[in-house]
Amino acid sequence: MTDDTFYGSDFGALSAFDPEIAGVLTSELDRIRGGLQLIASENISSPEVLTALGSTLSNKYAEGYPGRRYYGGCSEVDKAENLAIERAKSLLGAEHANVQAHSGASANQAVYGAFLQPGEKILAMSLPHGGHLTHGTKVSFSGKWFDAVHYGVHPETEDVDYDEMERLAKEHRPKVICSGGSAIPRLLDFERIRAICDEVGAIMWVDAAHFIGLVAGKAIPSPVPLADVVTFTTHKVLRGPRSGALVCKEEHAKALDKAIFPMMQGGPQMHTIAAKAVNFKECATPEYQQYAADVIANSKVLADELRGRGIRPTTGGTDTHLSLLDLQGVGVTGVDAEARCDAAGITLNKNAIPNDPQKPSVASGIRVGTPCVTTQGMGTDEMVKIAELIHTAVTTGDADPEHAVSREVRAQVRELVTTFPAYPR
């Protein structure tokens, strides 16, 4: 490894002082470079983003907002946050942006803080059908403190059941209706959702964590003009630092800002906010728009190729960066498929499918995404090969890395990622 491997930090000094942690950093880089990264919620941030993350802005305590801090010495970090705010607004066509959320869950928590009192109703997507923990699941604060009602997918199309959403909205009159989730491969009908919200007087909240990068890249329709608030993470297709943010209508700006700080968080992570500013600038380029289009093209081909090999995509395919795949047709559980792929150098995750007969820790499906491999420069030809490798690992492989099939697939994976390396030197 070279001293500039980790971009913006003195790796040589770290290696000398703390070889154990330095070893973790190098081995993680080797892991990324040595396998196929197909987790739909992950990406490979640029060296420029990593440089901002490893900067001296990490040292600054800056409770409050630019020009209204509770500490002195914030003149420089104010510049970084103002740039991140203005770039987020410009990128997404938003009236207001808050870039302080530590994560997508933190941004989601702010929505509850701004619009709901404990015990009040929210309508959101069911977790087993593709929603998210923070959308009212009982083990989450959102389900413990608020009255969550859940809609799901249509039993025939496996896509969001908007008729059920409307029926439940009329029946329960929730204060907030949330759309979006972690395993929804199709585009959302934002106009229909807006109409349902208007009919019952609900706040329209879109959790765009998974697909906001496709919106930023102008590859899919945007919820921002219609929604009251849009929350998102910055580390998925968007390809920024691991963090969160939100945009909203100006009329909700004050309530949401107060819900982030001082209600939910203390001091913001200024190095991360600077990294978000860098990322938003990256996403405003024609190159990123092409990237977003390529992510979807790759995702469609990968889903189609897997279907042709007997691994069925739910909803029949995908419009986005991810596919949810039903393994029942090949007689393998999600947990076994994940382990077999891992042994073969393919990183993906087990995932429940709608009406899954298996418990979540076992699952009948896997979720695959194309953000990372597209960042590495792979295209549709490579997706055909990746589908072949996944099918082989899942159907004839083993969780033992020394199994003959595992070794053979892993060798082909290494050949592919050597041609399209992550973080080329």
What is d(CA 123, CA 109) in angstroms, rounded to the nearest whole number?
15
Is 133 marked as a binding-site residue?
yes
Beta strand pairing status for 68-69 and 64-65?
Answer: antiparallel
User: What distance, in Å, lies between the first and last C-alpha atoms of the chain?
Assistant: 10
Is 250 marked as a binding-site residue?
yes
Of 207, 304, 336, 356, the active-site residue reads 207
Of 7, 61, 162, 423, the active-site residue reads 61
Is 127 marked as a binding-site residue?
yes
Of 233, 318, 370, 392, the active-site residue reads 233
Of 26, 51, 63, 89, the active-site residue reads 63
In 3-state terms, what secondary structure has residue 331? coil
Of 175, 186, 236, 300, the active-site residue reads 236
What is d(CA 333, CA 335) in angstroms, rounded to the nearest whole number?
6
63 flagged as catalytic: yes
153: DSSP letter? B
- One-letter amino acid at 113 equals G
Of 89, 192, 242, 385, the active-site residue reads 242
291 Cβ contact list (under 8 Å, min separation 6)? 217, 239, 374, 375
Q: What is the CA radius of gyration of the chain?
A: 22
Per DSSP (E only), the strands in 215-362 are 229-233, 244-248, 312-313, 322-326, 346-347, 349-351
Residue 162 structure tokens: 């908007």
What is d(CA 73, CA 223) in angstroms, rounded to the nearest whole number?
37
In 3-state terms, what secondary structure has residue 97? strand
In 3-state terms, what secondary structure has residue 59? helix
| Cα atoms in the 13 Å half-sphere on the side-chain side of 297 | 13
2 flagged as catalytic: no
- 191-200's contacts with Cβ under 8 Å and 24+ in sequence apart are 191/226, 192/162, 193/162, 193/165, 193/226, 194/226, 194/227, 196/162, 196/165, 196/166, 196/169, 197/169, 197/228, 199/166, 199/169, 199/170, 200/169, 200/170, 200/173, 200/174
417 Cβ contact list (under 8 Å, min separation 6)? 33, 34, 35, 36, 376
Asked if 325 and 306 count as a contact pair (C-beta separation under 8 A), the reply is yes
Is 348 marked as a binding-site residue?
no
236 flagged as catalytic: yes
**Cis peptide bond N-terminal to 225, omega within 30:** no
242 flagged as catalytic: yes
Is 131 marked as a binding-site residue?
yes
Show which residues are catalytic.
Answer: 61, 63, 207, 233, 236, 242
Binding residues: 127, 131-133, 250
Annotated binding site for (6S)-5,6,7,8-tetrahydrofolate: 127, 131-133, 250
